[in-house]
């Protein structure tokens, strides 16, 4: 640890992503775990964050006081729940720090609150923090643009572990947005998120979503472009949560010297256009 290390807070510290973040911070030069925050009433409060994450004691107990944790910090890494991330966005804006938000399943109203907080904080938000998925989104946009909507239908398939609570996944929606951008259409009015019963034929120009849940799958996504007599499939398979955690830490370091604003992982990775 050096004096110039970026001081990071992990919220949702005992969660699947919280633990992955603590491990990645521990092994990454230039960052240090400043504080760890858990949910009021959680059995992990008071326990050492490093012990929970399996890297040995770090001298950082999990607390329930985000405001205190944010005061002296430079960034917060947040993979929790939509309501929790909205609350933390307000606190990160008050503290004028970097807020990296990986939480998915957020509503349009939640997104408006994140954008409001970004007037004071540097917010980096993405449904997927991995390099591979962000590259995939660029490829999906290009493919959707190159293959005409009249002959090529776009379908997005995702599979995740049985504990996941939101659907479609944040990544599936991110990929859908990319394909919609390529097609020059509005995803919200052109997406088909559920099919059941007598659906009738597929409406042309739509983007369909299919969701699978089971076992311990970290996160698999495919963008399928289905034409007459041929299929193009672009896919990504996450094997380890460290890919998201490494992306989140890179996002915090990238945002450290940026102006307040709302940024995406495409900005962090230099893939935005
Ligand atoms: N953008 C990306 O790259 C990725 C995004 N995600 C998203 O991140 C989110 C979390 O995923 P995952 O780690 O698997 O989920 P978990 O349920 O394992 O972790 C969430 C953690 O947040 C804690 N939490 C809930 N409310 C609060 C609160 N008010 N204060 C502090 N902590 C709180 C939970 O505590 P408790 O268990 O006690 O309720 C839990 O420890 C999901 O939305 C998921 O989709 C996941 C992976 C990658
Ligand atoms: O809940 C998860 O686990 C994941 N959530 C994100 C999503 O909703 O896309 C990212 C990743 O696929 C894992």
Q: Determine which one of 164, 190, 221, 236 is catalytic.
A: 164
- Return d(Cα 166, Cα 105) in angstroms, integer: 5
Q: Is the ipTM of this complex over 0.85?
A: yes
Q: What is the mean pLDDT of residues 123-136?
A: 98
Q: Is the pLDDT of residue 12 over 90?
A: yes
Identify which of 53, 68, 79 to mutate to test ligand 1's pocket (most ligand atoms within 8 A of the CB). 79
Identify the residue whose C-alpha is closest to ligand 1 atom 16. Answer: 15
Asked whether the beta carbons of 210 and 157 are under 8 A apart, the reply is: yes
As for ligand 1, residues whose beta carbon falls within 6 Å of it are: 11-12, 14-18, 37-39, 42, 79-81, 84, 102-105, 126-129, 170, 244
Q: Is the pLDDT of residue 1 over 90?
A: no
241: which residues sit within 8 A by CB, 6+ positions away?
16, 17, 20, 218
Instruction: Look up residue 12 and give its two tokens.
Output: 């949702």
pLDDT, tens digit, for every residue of 168-209? Answer: 999 999 999 999 999 999 999 999 999 999 999 999 999 999
According to the annotation, is 159 in a ligand binding site?
no
According to the annotation, is 103 in a ligand binding site?
yes
Q: Is 240 helix (H, G, I), strand (E, B) or coil?
A: coil
CA 133–ligand 2 middle distance (angstroms)? 11
Instruction: Look up residue 149 and give its two tokens.
Output: 């909507």
Find the ligand nearest to 82 CA.
Answer: 1
Computed on alpha carbons and rounded to an integer, the radius of gyration of the chain in Å comes to: 19
Per-residue confidence (pLDDT) for residue 156, from 0 to 100: 98
Indicate the DSSP class of residue 249: H
Identify the residue whose C-alpha is closest to ligand 2 atom 12. Answer: 219
Q: What value does the mean pLDDT of the chain take?
A: 97
pLDDT, tens digit, for every residue of 67-83? Answer: 999 999 999 999 999 99
Distances (CA, A) of 36 to 33, 65, 227, 245: 8, 9, 49, 15
pLDDT, tens digit, for every residue of 34-64? Answer: 999 999 999 999 999 999 999 999 999 999 9
Alpha-helix runs per DSSP H in 31-164 = 49-53, 66-71, 82-95, 108-117, 131-146
Q: Is 183 helix (H, G, I), strand (E, B) or coil?
A: helix
160 part of the active site:
yes
Q: Determine which one of 125, 160, 190, 221 is catalytic.
A: 160
pLDDT bracket for residue 252 (50, 70, 90): very high
162 part of the active site:
no
Q: Which residues on adjacent β-strands are paired with residue 33?
A: 8
Per-residue confidence (pLDDT) for residue 255, from 0 to 100: 98
Asked whether the beta carbons of 93 and 114 are under 8 A apart, the reply is: no
As for ligand 2, residues whose beta carbon falls within 6 Å of it are: 104, 127-128, 160, 164, 169-171, 219, 238
Per-residue confidence (pLDDT) for residue 2, from 0 to 100: 87
Looking only at the bridges linking them, the beta strands covering 219-227 and 230-238 are antiparallel
Which of 62, 50, 2 is closest to 25 using CA atoms? 50
pTM value? 0.98
């Amino acid at each position: 640890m050096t004096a110039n290390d970026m001081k990071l807070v992990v919220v949702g510290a005992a969660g699947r992503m919280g633990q992955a973040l603590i491990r990645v911070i521990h092994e990454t030069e230039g960052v240090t775990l400043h504080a760890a925050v858990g949910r009021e009433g959680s059995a992990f409060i008071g326990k050492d964050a490093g012990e929970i994450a399996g890297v040995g004691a770090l001298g950082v107990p999990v607390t329930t006081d985000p405001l205190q944790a944010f005061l002296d910090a430079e960034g917060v890494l947040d993979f929790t729940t939509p309501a929790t991330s909205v609350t933390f966005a307000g606190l990160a804006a008050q503290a004028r720090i970097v807020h990296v938000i990986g939480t998915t399943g957020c509503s349009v109203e939640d997104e408006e609150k994140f954008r409001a907080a970004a007037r004071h904080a540097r917010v980096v938000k993405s449904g997927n923090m991995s390099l591979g998925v962000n590259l995939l989104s660029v490829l999906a946009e290009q493919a959707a643009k190159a293959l005409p909507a009249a002959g090529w239908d776009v379908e997005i398939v995702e599979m995740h572990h049985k504990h996941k609570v939101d659907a479609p996944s944040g990544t599936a929606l991110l990929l859908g947005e990319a394909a919609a951008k390529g097609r020059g259409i509005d995803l919200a009015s052109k997406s088909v998120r559920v099919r059941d019963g007598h659906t009738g034929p597929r409406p042309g120009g739509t983007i369909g979503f299919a969701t699978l849940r089971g076992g311990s799958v970290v996160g698999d996504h495919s963008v399928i472009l289905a034409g007459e007599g041929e299929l193009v499939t672009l896919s990504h398979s996450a094997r380890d949560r460290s890919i998201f955690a490494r992306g989140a830490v890179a996002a915090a370091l990238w945002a450290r010297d940026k102006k307040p604003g709302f940024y995406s992982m495409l900005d962090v990775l230099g893939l935005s256009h």
